[in-house]
Structure 1
Amino acid sequence: MGIQVKSCSTKEELKKEMAHNLDLSGMSLDSLPNPPINLSIITKLDLSNNNLESIPESLTARLLNVAVLDVRSNQLKSLPNSIGCLSKLKVLNVSGNLLESLPKTIEDCRALEELNVNFNKLAKLPDTIGFELTNLKRLSMNSNKLAFLPYSTSHMTSLKHLDARLNSLRSLPDGLENLIRLETLNVSQNFQFLSSIPYSVGLLISLTELDISYNRIGVLPESIGCLTKLRKFRAEGNPLVSPPMEVVQEGADAVREYLSVKMSTANSIGAKKKKTWVGKLAKLGTFSSSRMHSRSIREKDEHDGLMMPDYRPIEGLATPTRYLGRLFSPRRLFSPSPRRDSSRK
């Protein structure tokens, strides 16, 4: 009896789910019919693999409860502005269309967690898209014509997967270190356009996969040595000199170790240079105005051949305001210059 009740319950749930899902995929539709159902109850709408060139504004505006909208593989040249009415939308797939831009109203879909715009003709994204879509976890935009990603991308703090391969990216946005949950970053195959990646990539503390293959990158930032969770790294097809390709071919651990050592070496050299300069400044008496101290230093330097024997310390050099005060005094600067004797002309 209990099994029978469970079976009935499953059938009811299945029937309810089917009533909330509308599948019109693969029907070679050129336009959308007016469905004889209440669109406000639809939670998933699949319009993929058709020949749609547009989606009516009125249709989108009635999808008040839709959470998944799939319109991939159509002939869409634009999305309706009313897409901003989809306040419960979590997944939007518009890949494989002819889109050259996204409507700014897409920023109003603040529940969006997954956005797929692969295989379109996008030249740019809305400038402020990242400020609004802070719940986005997966952003796929490969195979477009993007030259830059907006700065606001670095504010998508929930982002876990970012795929921007096969574009024309010249650079990556500032502030990437804000993407503390990012696990996968793919900026491969931007070919001759992408010649460097920012230092902030090494501050992506959750990054496990990084693909920069087939670009024009010659030097990796040393900060990548700090990516302790990095497990997969691809960089073939780049003119890399640091680290060299033989290190890259050994895998992510070898790359991380190489760059960590390079960073440590650079820090130690920097500290040594700083210490050397401090010593030189001390030798020259910069940190002391004592004449006796200057004289002893001068005698030592003469012995070492660093100064001319007839060197004499200038009084007040350690406190230059005495000299500069006379040189740039108000009386000297603003007093009228003496007139020349006209008889000398």
Structure 2
Amino acid sequence: MTSPKASALPGGPAGPAEGFNDNVPNGLLKTAKQTGVLNLSNKDLSHVPDKVWQLANSADASQPTSHWTDPGQRAALVGGCRADEALPVSQQAGVSVRVHRQVSHLAVVDVRDNRLIRLPDAVGQLAELRSLNASKNRLIELPPSLASSGSLVQLSPTACPNVELPPDIGRLDSLSELDIADNQLTGLPDSIAMLRCLRCLEAGGNRIDSLPAGVAHLPALSRLGLAGNRLEHLPGGPYPALEVLDLSDNQLTDLPPIGADPDSPAKLKELHLVNNRISRLLPDRLRPLGVSLRHLDLKRNCLSELPVELAGLLPLLERLDLTNNDLSSLPNELGLLTGLKCILLDGNPLRALRREVVARGTEAIKKHLASRIAQPAAAEAAVDAAAAVAAAAAAAVASGGSATEVAAAASACSKKISKKDPAPKTALQALQQQFGLDLGELRVTGSLKYADKRVAEVPEPLLELLANNSETGVSVTRIDLSGNELAGLPERLAKPPFADSLLEVSLRKNCLVGQLDAGVAQLASLTVLDLSVNQLTSLPMEVSQLKQLQNLVLSYNRIAEFPEPLYSLPRLETVLLANNCIATLQPDRLRGMSSLATLDLTNNSLATVPPQLGLCTNLRNLHLEGNRFRVPRPDQLAKGTAFVLEYLRNRIAADDFACVEFRGDDLAVEFFWLFTKCCATVVWARPVVPGSVQCDVGWGGVRAAGQLP
């Protein structure tokens, strides 16, 4: 070669360059002639030596057939060269042709994990090339001749941030696997729709915001990976062979439109939609998937409810991941899915499902949901019908039955499961149809869900009927009014019987502005109150009358200081004040809240954290991230509540305490030793028990008297 940077598959027949490292043992070459595979990984090569390209001319007489020369065999070059400029086309006339002739049966080229910026055009002229792996290089383009390779089956230029796909990539008639993940591609060539043999397309980790419409019609495509892009929608179409689709970490707001043709139902088995913006599941998008879908992953989306038709539309569903959404309840019909093996619900504000039920797992959840259906006999019949039809649909798919039969089976399952009584029999059932109540949930748990109706007031007839226990036989203990436009708590709820029976109230995501209406103080039995995502600035002093309150959620409001009424609530265990405007704390008063175990002050305006907060030993969960203070540091906050409290206690200055008197169990015993080190005078005033040990000891001039722990 004339230049160290000018080699066809580097090194080429022209000879080694200056400073060339020939670190290829002859034994390795002999093995390559026998197996057809030459591995040059980790040889610290900057060029491929001449003797590699002379393999075809140096056949061993003792070896009847060489894989490098026999047209009936295929050879492979596995490269690990450390070339800075990589595999440029030789400047010497005829070299690329000579390389092509000498390794004319080369079938596998693997040059991953190097510093290559280009590949020689000769690579595309290899008549039997089946696999090219150029991952983790610095490629800026693929050889133009590659598009005319009629034998290439696998192509993988992954993790090459500057690479571009050739516009005529659709000419690769035999291409079956294309991996272009982790690049910086903003789109795909339209010609990709011409790859009739393409089975697997991996394009995750790019910047793609749209796909060519023809992708939906690729006849062999069975796996499509598009995670980590910028897609807001997917082209609609049949996707005739697609079985696995990964659209995680995009910007979708709806399910992708797949398999809309009833005469050619979708074959999709796995649909991954993690971390998108999906807020609803449209039945029209679910229906075509019902004949095949087994795995639906909707983790980290914005779902606040599921359609009641879900169980009927997806009768073959086996795994449903709803982690970290905004679900407060589930359709009871999910309990009828006999094939559902796993349902994940962590991170949802579930109100209608008790924690102990969720903790017991999928079967317990299904059993609980099925038990809440109004007519047990009808529910049992629906379970049997759903199981039978789902089995029929599965059998039809497995046996290659007609698409019409499979679709009909799924539709029948939907009708069986979703069947309702034709006419209401009671006033409560009439209200159920009029206002969309979940009658089974109301009867079993006493939970009324009137959420996401976008109404400014709750219908008075509904509340009046629910207040009449003798007619309905229902005592409402929980009410969910989230996602409406209420300006305050409905007045009817502040009167008996609701004022006496309500245990949980949610006014989340309404239009509460300024100070909360004092009427909430009439709910004497209230234990849980959710006022998050409003515009509240304060709470009225009447809130201090809620002596049974245990959990208060005030996140995402405009509260500027810790609410004064909360200091008077003896049972308050959890206070969530994230994303407000709180600037200061009063640790002495917080210490008086003996039941407080969880305090969330994430994303407020705290400029400092008082060291005395470390004396609030009852706290088990303290969250302070996202504030303005610099101490404690973020890495210290990450070590957990116990570490942060101890850190704060250690920052208490000695002159903050002239005299500390210990009485009874006001402070934990271990703090006695702390104060003996930092206080001028310590008095241990615990009552003396007869026969106990008496001490009069001093630590550096500090004295303590009485019964020591």
TM-score in same-fold range (> 0.5): yes
- Corresponding residue for residue 249 of structure 2: 143
Aligned residue runs from structure 1 range 239-258, under 5 A = 239-258=349-368
Judged with a 3 Å threshold, the aligned counterparts in structure 2 of structure 1 residues 40 and 274 are, in CA distance, closer, same or farther, namely: same
Q: Conserved in 1, the CA contact under 8 Å of 2:179 and 2:203?
A: yes
- Corresponding residue for residue 299 of structure 2: 188
- Corresponding residue for residue 311 of structure 1: none
Aligned residue runs from structure 1 range 45-124, under 5 A = 45-52=155-162, 54-58=164-168, 60-124=169-233
Query: Any stretches of 5+ residues in structure 1 without a counterpart?
Result: 278-345
Q: Distance in 1 between matches of 2:255 and 2:317?
A: 19
Q: Distance in 1 between matches of 2:75 and 2:309?
A: 48
Moved more, 93-102 or 203-212: 203-212
Match of 1:166 among 275, 293, 301: 275
Is 1:133–2:253 an aligned residue pair? Answer: no
Deviation at 1:103, TM superposition (A): 1.5
Deviation at 1:25, TM superposition (A): 1.2
Deviation at 1:199, TM superposition (A): 2.5
Is 1:220–2:345 an aligned residue pair? Answer: no
Match of 2:140 among 27, 30, 33: 30
Partner SS for 2:366: helix
Give the letter for the 2:268 counterpart.
L
Q: Conserved in 1, the CA contact under 8 Å of 2:272 and 2:296?
A: yes
Q: Distance in 1 between matches of 2:422 and 2:160?
A: 67
Judged with a 3 Å threshold, the aligned counterparts in structure 2 of structure 1 residues 205 and 273 are, in CA distance, closer, same or farther, namely: closer
Q: Distance in 2 between matches of 1:36 and 1:228?
A: 51
Judged with a 3 Å threshold, the aligned counterparts in structure 2 of structure 1 residues 223 and 153 are, in CA distance, closer, same or farther, namely: farther
Q: Distance in 2 between matches of 1:67 and 1:188?
A: 31
Give the letter for the 2:299 counterpart.
S
Deviation at 1:36, TM superposition (A): 6.4
The superposition leaves residues 226-273 of structure 1 with CA deviations (integer Å, 9 ceiling, x where unpaired) of 211222211011111233332111110011101111125488798698
Judged with a 3 Å threshold, the aligned counterparts in structure 2 of structure 1 residues 260 and 249 are, in CA distance, closer, same or farther, namely: same
Judged with a 3 Å threshold, the aligned counterparts in structure 2 of structure 1 residues 54 and 262 are, in CA distance, closer, same or farther, namely: same
Partner SS for 1:45: strand
- Corresponding residue for residue 12 of structure 1: 73
Q: Distance in 1 between matches of 2:173 and 2:219?
A: 14
The superposition leaves residues 248-303 of structure 1 with CA deviations (integer Å, 9 ceiling, x where unpaired) of 111100111011111254887986985569xxxxxxxxxxxxxxxxxxxxxxxxxx
Indicate the structure (1 or 2) with the bigger Cα radius of gyration.
Answer: 2
Judged with a 3 Å threshold, the aligned counterparts in structure 2 of structure 1 residues 37 and 56 are, in CA distance, closer, same or farther, namely: closer
Judged with a 3 Å threshold, the aligned counterparts in structure 2 of structure 1 residues 252 and 105 are, in CA distance, closer, same or farther, namely: same
Partner SS for 2:343: strand
Q: Distance in 1 between matches of 2:219 and 2:147?
A: 27
Instruction: Determine which structure has greater relative contact order: mean sequence separation of CA pairs < 8 Å that are 6+ residues apart, divided by chain length.
Output: 1
Give the letter for the 1:250 counterpart.
R
Q: Distance in 1 between matches of 2:333 and 2:297?
A: 18
- Corresponding residue for residue 209 of structure 1: 319
Give the letter for the 1:212 counterpart.
L
The superposition leaves residues 168-223 of structure 1 with CA deviations (integer Å, 9 ceiling, x where unpaired) of 11212324244222111100101xx2211223331322222110010011121122
- Corresponding residue for residue 292 of structure 1: none
Q: Percent identity?
A: 29
Deviation at 1:70, TM superposition (A): 0.4
Q: Conserved in 2, the CA contact under 8 Å of 1:98 and 1:121?
A: yes
Match of 1:236 among 328, 336, 346: 346
- Corresponding residue for residue 571 of structure 2: none
The superposition leaves residues 286-323 of structure 1 with CA deviations (integer Å, 9 ceiling, x where unpaired) of xxxxxxxxxxxxxxxxxxxxxxxxxxxxxxxxxxxxxx
TM-score, normalised relative to structure 1: 0.69
Q: Conserved in 2, the CA contact under 8 Å of 1:20 and 1:41?
A: yes
Deviation at 1:105, TM superposition (A): 1.9
Q: Conserved in 2, the CA contact under 8 Å of 1:54 and 1:77?
A: no
Query: Any stretches of 5+ residues in structure 2 without a counterpart?
Result: 1-62, 77-104, 109-128, 380-419, 428-709
Q: Conserved in 1, the CA contact under 8 Å of 2:139 and 2:163?
A: no
Q: Distance in 2 between matches of 1:107 and 1:177?
A: 18
Deviation at 1:14, TM superposition (A): 7.2
Deviation at 1:151, TM superposition (A): 3.8
Q: Conserved in 2, the CA contact under 8 Å of 1:150 and 1:173?
A: no
Deviation at 1:31, TM superposition (A): 2.0
Q: What is the aligned length?
A: 266
TM-score, normalised relative to structure 2: 0.35
Q: Conserved in 1, the CA contact under 8 Å of 2:223 and 2:243?
A: yes
